[in-house]
Copies of this chain bind each other. A is one copy, B any other.
Amino acid sequence: METDSTARDLEIVRTLKAPRRLLWKAWSDPDLLKEWWCPKPWKTDVKAFEFRPGGAFHTYMTGPLPNGEQGESDNPGCFLDILPEERIVCTSMLTGGWRPTEPWIGITSVFLLEDTPDGTRYTARCMHRNGDERTKHEEMGFYDGWGTMIDQMDAFALSLS
């Protein structure tokens, strides 16, 4: 039933300089998360951050579009799984209290942290509800966007030490 499911995924795996403890700190506090969550000069407003399975996770981002106008991206969602310093899973398919919703893009994101001899291995996997949204997400600049977020997160986490 799920034989082709990974064809609906986008994934970035990177080895980071910051230790897991500081990356977790940067991730698990909304006042810190907003500093690195979206590629600058876009800004993140964290509208909900109930850091537990079933808790609301809602980011609202604003910034300049290529045409110079102000853009926005509203992303209500829900945390699904949290394993301290190891794993965070969240989705746009549900909002707080696991309530189903109608997202503009239907994704579940999985973030994994692992120690390696060379640094912290960070996996950011984005699973889509269909291939069209996966393609659209890639064309919107997934690899650049999430890659920049990861650079910003690593640098910001290091600054916390």
- Known interface pairs A54-B89, A94-B94, A100-B128; 9 further A-B residue pairs with C-beta atoms within 8 A, sorted by A's residue number: A1-B95, A2-B96, A54-B80, A80-B98, A91-B94, A91-B98, A100-B106, A100-B107, A100-B108
Number of residues in A with C-beta < 8 Å to the partner? 33
Q: Are B76 and A1 in contact (CB under 8 A)?
A: yes
CB proximity of A69 to chain B, nearest CB, Å: 25
Q: Are B99 and A5 in contact (CB under 8 A)?
A: yes
Asked if A147 lies at the interface with its beta carbon under 8 angstroms from chain B, I say no
CB proximity of A90 to chain B, nearest CB, Å: 9
A89's closest neighbor in chain B, by CB? B98
* Sample (6) of A-B pairs whose CB atoms are under 8 Å apart: A1-B95, A89-B98, A93-B93, A98-B110, A100-B129, A102-B130
